[in-house]
Chains A and B, each alone.
Chain A
Amino acid sequence: MKQLLPVLALLAVLFGGSAAAATPLPGDSVYQLSLQLTDQDGHRQSLASRHGRPQLITMFYTSCQMVCPMIIDSLRLTRNALDPAARAKLDLLAVSFDPVKDDVATLKTYADKRKLDPRIWTLARAEPAQVRQLSGVLGLQYRQLPDGEFNHSSELILLDTDGRIVARTTVIGRLDPAFVKVVGETIVGR
């Protein structure tokens, strides 16, 4: 039995690692999806590494001229509508629909041009199959057109600290007060 202990310990490390790291994830957490993101500074992070802080998440792409700039504006507006204490507890995450064009340098240029503070904003890309998975778990639709543009749904989605979808809004380009209210309440942990 004694000789078995190191083996058991090894097995626990191998198979129990993620579960032991923190409180186990609920079954309806989007962090159940194994997904690698690369941010505007080239840092790799798993989606699940955002576990622990509430997130406002959306999907967009940088070469999009029409609605995408407004998606970014809407994220900013929503965050700014919160009181400062709540604001400091919220992260913003925008993942590209277009991993081919949106490489790290392109995301970085976009973040600089739009003055998106990297302490608050993560612009990220993922491999194409993972982009489709993320859209699936978030309930967003997108389709690439022959000219390289995308048709896509435009929504802001609120995740709680455990990665559960708490609320979403399709109001883009102006503030959605009902959504802001839920964001504020989720952050203070009502």
Chain B
Amino acid sequence: MRVRLALAWFGLMLALPAAAAEYAALPGGTFASVLPADGKAAAAQVAPFRLRTELVTNGEYLAFVRKHPQWRRDKVAGILADARYLTQWAGADELGEQALPRQPVTRVSWFAAQAYCESEGARLPSWYEWEFAAAADASRRDARADPAWRENILGWYSRPSSTALPAVGGAANVYGVRDMNGLVWEWVDDFNALMVASDSRQQGDPDLLKFCGAGAISLQEKENYAVLMRIAMLSALKAADTTNNLGFRCAKSN
């Protein structure tokens, strides 16, 4: 009897569309970000939030595209996703051998990532939320001062990007969130807020002329190269850009 019930349950699980994505609760709090909130030294304030424990996969994104055909690669407006959008897939609604269902989806634009998260009743995480979650390791909420932790993350950046992406489902951090470091780059909601002053050099006095407010942002914790690389990469992107190794996960406010 029990076996039969279990079989029935298993059959039901197979018949359902994808299981709902899992979100972990994170406490937030005052956080020493590499990006000071005021551009000088102020700590970041992160409100309690929930974060998707896994990156969005090819399989999940395929289900989204089938339901929202305006996001098919042969239908999407060019201003919302560039020409490389989903080109690793075999077809507009077919993954093929180069894009496995459990690999994180990449070559998605910021607009596309936003639309996906919206379909899950979620949004993209802010940079501070992402950085807060990524500071944890398996046992500590903030492992960033540990040189071994830093080395480990930096190791990822030295791996060649031509090798196939591993599947999602790596080891969970203390919050139960997986693959924050070491798998792909990730979109954040405020990717174009990180280094606002970066392109201000053409003007005589950028603080006065090109920007209201405090002008250039200085980066803290310069020994935390891995996180700084993320910021530099995100800041260089436009919202329609897609890259080989750039994916996303979603977040929800509490």
Contacts and interface: CB of A to CB of B under 8 A. Distances in A.
Interface of A: 25, 27-30, 32-33, 61, 64-68, 70, 129, 132-133, 135-137, 139-147, 149-154, 170, 172-173
B209 A32 contact: no
Contacts of B238: 136, 139
Interface of B: 37-39, 42, 77-80, 110-111, 114, 123, 189-190, 192-200, 202-203, 208-215, 217, 238-240
B22 to A, nearest CB: 24
Interface of B is mostly: loop
Given A28-B78, A135-B192, A143-B193, A152 B38 contact: no
A142 B190 CA distance: 9
Interface of A is mostly: loop
B211 A170 contact: no
Contact of A67 (B79, B192, B210, B217): B210
Given A64-B212, A67-B208, A152-B213, 10 more contacts: A33-B111, A66-B208, A137-B111, A139-B238, A141-B193, A143-B196, A145-B213, A146-B38, A170-B210, A172-B210
A141 B196 contact: yes
3 shortest interchain CB distances as A-B pairs: A136-B239, A27-B78, A32-B77
Nearest to A147: B38
Nearest to A172: B209
Given A27-B77, A137-B79, A150-B213, A142 B196 contact: yes
B77 to A, nearest CB: 4
B210 A29 contact: no
Given A140-B192, A146-B42, A151-B211, A29 B79 contact: yes
A132 B117 CA distance: 15
Nearest to B81: A27
A19 to B, nearest CB: 11
Contacts of B197: 151
Given A32-B80, A146-B38, A151-B39, A137 B239 contact: yes
A157 B13 CA distance: 51
B78 A149 contact: no
